[in-house]
Amino acid sequence: MAFDKPMIRDSEGFDWVVEQHSQFFMIGYRVKKHLFSGQSDFQKVDVYETEGHGKLLMNDNLAMVSDRDEYIYHEMMAHIPLFTHPHPKRVLVIGGGDGGTAREVLRHTSVESVRMVEIDKMVVDASKEFIPVTASCLSDERITVDINDAVKFVAETNEKFDVVMVDSTDPIGPATPLFGIDFYKNIYKILEDDGVVVSQGESPFYEQPMQVKLMSIVSELFPITSLYNFTNLTYPGGLWSFTFASKKFHPLKDFNRERVLESGIDFRYYNEDLHSACFALPSFMRNSLRSYIKL
Amino acid sequence: MAFDKPMIRDSEGFDWVVEQHSQFFMIGYRVKKHLFSGQSDFQKVDVYETEGHGKLLMNDNLAMVSDRDEYIYHEMMAHIPLFTHPHPKRVLVIGGGDGGTAREVLRHTSVESVRMVEIDKMVVDASKEFIPVTASCLSDERITVDINDAVKFVAETNEKFDVVMVDSTDPIGPATPLFGIDFYKNIYKILEDDGVVVSQGESPFYEQPMQVKLMSIVSELFPITSLYNFTNLTYPGGLWSFTFASKKFHPLKDFNRERVLESGIDFRYYNEDLHSACFALPSFMRNSLRSYIKL
């Protein structure tokens, strides 16, 4: 890496934690306190108290969650599939050890159970201790937290789900198999006949080959597939995607605006207009992914 | 500033140019060569050759234009008003000295003349020399480039325009008066009775008070007002807005998708779906700006 330590010191003596990309781009956050640092069997886990973004969770020196913008990723991962599927009851969250996705899922009163399968106990424990804004929901009685390998779980389980959310890190380290076809064949198998799956879909600007790969996999298996976008503060390039794949329900044609308005959920990012608008892709994405978008 | 020089050196000896915000956030680009540095009467102007983003123009150490993502800002500034107004002929670009906005305007065959009023000749000259991807259009015979104070120009001119684009820097230094009500009263005056104005509208995440101020000004003067969003790589937070204000034409109801498809323009970001989708605002924006949005 260009900077051999994750923190650099400025002219006034303040420390900044720096996330580096492709040897040519970086994002830095001023640090008030380095709250936690650990090495699990899977990755390095750090929590920083930052000056402007609150608590910041980093895995292998890549930003995962900040207090300031976590609601965006988590709302968009959860509410798009849960307002596409008309009556979601059983939800599987793969990864998502910080608890933010589960928190948004639990805001849906139709949901009876959430199973979370997270490989890294250290992420769950660090989030519980330092990031209550996402992790406090993990004590909800509708949640079961399995510390387990999701690849193994989806291959072996007999449970079925209405909605699956693949809330994974990038395809390096422990998350690599979550970007393969065998994994998605098993996701297909454990989904009900009208099930929906969404997945962390990487950067349109910096990781287009990975987006193409993921979309080629899901479009081979599912009849309805697309990507949808959001913008947050802590993922490089701002713009980020989720992949969307569905056996039956169409995210635009089967969408009922009234259900969003009647839910009474106080969204900070998602809403009934964005639900459809986020599927409108910039031309450069539409052009490169055209053959995998089935809407 | 936290870093007292615009460039810092990494462990391998490479230089990075760093943009800093609010003392707590920074973005860095690895530099291959510092091509130009000048101090004009208005601001510091620098052009860097970067490792991953091509040429990068910075005014007062804030990123203005990079080769890699400039098309996004410029397409979204130009095509939204020009595909809202059904027959735009005379266009005024305020600022935009790099030429990128004018380039996109000139792709519309209906446009007969573009007047560009840029206060800082150094920006135009540096762009012509180092950033041909935006500046090469400035020799087009339909363009007139005035090196002039736009505040003075809009107060004194007798010309009328169909569309005005306020392609300004942030409200510090020379652009400060471009964020005031007197300026917009003059914009209103020089617009035809069916005219449209769009303006660089700042960051929804980091500059919400400025967005509120701008929207309160335009919504006092114009019957149809809103913001629309885009995401680029080099503006802090990724998500960014333009304000939209119109005397007659509605950006959604009067929009004709066929005109976009028939234009034959090869867009890289804008398209007929994004035209409407970009007006769907995240809840946090909708909530804070609700009283100024008239759509």
Q: A271 to each of A80, A204, A252, A263, B77, how far by Cα in Å?
A: 10, 22, 14, 11, 25
Residue range A201-227: mean pLDDT, rounded: 96
Residue at token pair 């260009």 = A2
pLDDT digits (tens, 9 = 90+) for A7-55: 899 888 999 999 998 889 999 999 999 999 999 999 999 999 999 999 9
Asked if B282 lies within 8 A of A268 by C-beta distance, the reply is yes
> Shortest CB distance from A23 goes to which of B51, B53, B274?
B51
Long-range contact pairs involving A125-130 (C-beta distance under 8 Å, separation at least 24): A126/A36, A126/A38, A126/A45, A126/A47, A126/A57, A127/A57, A127/A65, A127/A97, A127/A98, A127/A99, A128/A99, A129/A36, A130/A35, A130/A36, A130/A47, A130/A55, A130/A57
Q: Is the pLDDT of residue B24 over 90?
A: yes
Q: Is the pLDDT of residue B2 over 80?
A: no
Measured in angstroms, the CA of A80 and the nearest CA of chain B are apart by 14
pLDDT digits (tens, 9 = 90+) for A244-258: 999 999 999 999 999
Chain B partners within 8 Å of A18 (Cβ): 28
Q: Is the pLDDT of residue B156 over 80?
A: yes
Measured in angstroms, the CA of A281 and the nearest CA of chain B are apart by 7
> Shortest CB distance from B273 goes to which of A28, A267, A280?
A280
pLDDT digits (tens, 9 = 90+) for B229-245: 999 999 988 899 999 99
pLDDT-based confidence at residue B179 (cuts at 50, 70, 90): confident
B223 interface with A at CB cutoff 8 Å: no
pLDDT digits (tens, 9 = 90+) for A122-151: 999 999 999 999 999 999 999 999 999 999
Asked if B277 lies within 8 A of A280 by C-beta distance, the reply is yes
If residue A25 lies in a helix (H) or strand (E), which one and from where to where? strand A25-39
A71: tokens are: 């609601």
**Does this model's pTM top 0.95?**
yes
Which residues, 6 or more positions from B93, have their beta carbon under 8 angstroms from its beta carbon?
B101, B102, B105, B114, B115, B116, B117, B164, B165, B167
Q: Cβ distance B45 to B123 under 8 Å?
A: yes
| Distance separating alpha carbons of residues A158 and B91, to the nearest angstrom | 64
Which residues, 6 or more positions from A4, have their beta carbon under 8 angstroms from its beta carbon?
B11
A 57-116 near B (Cβ less than 8 A): 69, 72
Residue range B168-192: mean pLDDT, rounded: 89
A 143-202 near B (Cβ less than 8 A): none
Asked if A14 lies within 8 A of B29 by C-beta distance, the reply is no
What average pLDDT is seen over chain A? 95
Residue B3: per-residue pLDDT: 79
Residue at token pair 């462990």 = B11
| In A87-238, beta strands by DSSP E | 90-95, 113-118, 143-147, 161-167, 191-200, 224-231
DSSP states of A80-108 as a string?
Answer: HHHHHSSS--EEEEEE-TTSHHHHHHTT-
Chain B partners within 8 Å of A30 (Cβ): 2, 23-25
Chain A partners within 8 Å of B276 (Cβ): 277, 280
Q: Is the pLDDT of residue A1 over 70?
A: no
Residue at token pair 């989708």 = B277
Q: Is the pLDDT of residue A174 over 80?
A: no
Q: Is the pLDDT of residue B8 over 70?
A: yes
Q: Is the pLDDT of residue A166 over 80?
A: yes
If residue A239 lies in a helix (H) or strand (E), which one and from where to where? strand A239-246
* CA B48, B50, B55, B61 torsion-angle sign: negative
Asked if B2 lies within 8 A of A8 by C-beta distance, the reply is no
Residue A173: per-residue pLDDT: 75
Measured in angstroms, the CA of A146 and the nearest CA of chain B are apart by 33
Asked if B16 lies within 8 A of A26 by C-beta distance, the reply is yes
Q: Is the pLDDT of residue A177 over 90?
A: no
If residue A186 lies in a helix (H) or strand (E), which one and from where to where? helix A181-190
Asked if B270 lies within 8 A of A281 by C-beta distance, the reply is no
pLDDT digits (tens, 9 = 90+) for B48-91: 999 999 999 999 999 999 999 999 999 999 999 999 999 999 99
B 131-150 near A (Cβ less than 8 A): none
Residue B1: per-residue pLDDT: 63
Interface with chain B: mutation pick from A19, A208, A233, A257, highest number of B CBs within 10 Å:
A233
Residue B86: per-residue pLDDT: 98
Name the pairing type of β-strands B25-39 and B44-50.
antiparallel
B252 interface with A at CB cutoff 8 Å: no
Buried b (16+ CB within 10 A) or exposed e, B88-117: bebbbbbbbbbbbbbbbbbbbeebeebbbb
Residue A169: per-residue pLDDT: 84
Catalytic residue among A162, A167, A194, A273: A167
Q: Cβ distance A166 to A199 under 8 Å?
A: yes
Residue range B18-43: mean pLDDT, rounded: 94
Measured in angstroms, the CA of B247 and the nearest CA of chain A are apart by 25
Give chain A's largest Cα–Cα span: 59
